[in-house]
Copies of this chain bind each other. A is one copy, B any other.
Amino acid sequence: MSANINATLSALAEPKRLQIVELLREGPLTVGEIAEKLELLQPQTSKHLGVLNKAGLVEVKAQANMRIYKLCQQPFKDLDGWLSSFGHVWEERFDRLDEYLQKLQGKD
């Protein structure tokens, strides 16, 4: 459903949001806990979580008057899949730069 690498990368590119994601690796947390652990103000914590949620990186569950946020796994799997599409680049024994240079030479 979501292989939107761009959206995932944009959401993760913001330092505070990256921190939030890293914190959530250890398990679900409420907004207040996230704000406290990362020393963020509550409003910006909520806003960042909103961005992460919109990008599909995070999901919420309401519990009493608080919201518990946890990571979604799909976008991370997608990102991992995308990264593996680079695999063959490193696999190649020869440096394709040499190949390219020879190709240039041949144009004379």
Taking Cβ atoms with an 8 Å cutoff, the residues of A that contact B are 5-6, 9-10, 12-13, 15, 18, 25, 27-29, 61, 63, 68, 70-71, 73, 76-77, 79-80, 83-86, 88-90, 96-97, 99-101, 104
Instruction: Report 25 cross-chain contacts, Cβ distance below 8 Å, ordered by A residue.
Output: A5-B18, A6-B13, A6-B15, A9-B9, A9-B13, A9-B18, A10-B13, A12-B13, A25-B85, A28-B96, A28-B100, A29-B100, A63-B104, A68-B97, A68-B100, A68-B101, A70-B97, A71-B86, A73-B86, A76-B83, A77-B90, A79-B83, A80-B80, A80-B83, A83-B83
Tell me whether A12 and B9 are in contact in the complex, defined as CB-CB below 8 angstroms, given that A79-B83, A80-B83, A97-B61 are known contacts.
yes
User: With contacts A71-B86, A79-B83 known, what are 20 further pairs, Cβ within 8 A?
Assistant: A5-B18, A6-B13, A6-B15, A6-B18, A9-B9, A9-B18, A13-B13, A25-B85, A25-B86, A27-B96, A27-B100, A28-B96, A29-B100, A63-B104, A68-B97, A70-B97, A71-B89, A73-B86, A73-B90, A80-B84
